[in-house]
Amino acid sequence: MKSIIRGVLIASALVIPITSFAQSTEHTTRAQVRAELVQLESVGYHVGDGDPTHYPDAIQAAEAKLAARDASTSNYGGASSTSQSGGGVSAADWNAMYSR
């Protein structure tokens, strides 16, 4: 009887770490990938230019351009027309800063 309990304990000790590394169920859809490609093409990146030696540089440059464009059109940074002294942080501001 003790050997059965010992076997169960050893088996559970081996199985628990495996389950902790399970992937999440969120998958990227085809529509999301296509939308990302459209965004990258809008900043000058062309899929399959035929030069695989410069692929990492080209995609990283396109992503940097896209990030710069998105940063310039977002509401972050820049001058503010209101001033708060001692005001708390709203839930929307907190989520915008720390949700990524």
Give me the helices (H) in 1-100, please.
Answer: 2-20, 30-42, 55-73, 91-98
Residue 53 lies in a domain: yes
DSSP state of 90: P
Instruction: Label residue 71 by pLDDT band (50, 70, 90).
Output: confident
Residue 57 lies in a domain: yes
Look up the domain containing 55 and give its range: 28-69
pLDDT at 75 over 70: no
Q: Which residues touch 66 (CB under 8 Å, ≥6 apart)?
A: 39, 40, 42, 43
**What is the percent of the chain with per-residue pLDDT over 90, rounded to a whole number?**
7
pLDDT of residue 19: 58
Residue 13 lies in a domain: no
Residue 46 lies in a domain: yes
Residue 41 lies in a domain: yes
Q: CA–CA separation, 48 vs 85, rounded Å? A: 53
Lowest mean pLDDT among 10-14, 53-57, 80-84: 80-84
Residue 1 lies in a domain: no
Give 32 or 52, the one with higher predicted confidence.
32
Residue 82 lies in a domain: no
Q: CA–CA separation, 24 vs 66, rounded Å? A: 27
Q: Which two tokens stand for residue 10?
A: 């050893």
Q: How many independent structural domains does the chain possess?
A: 1
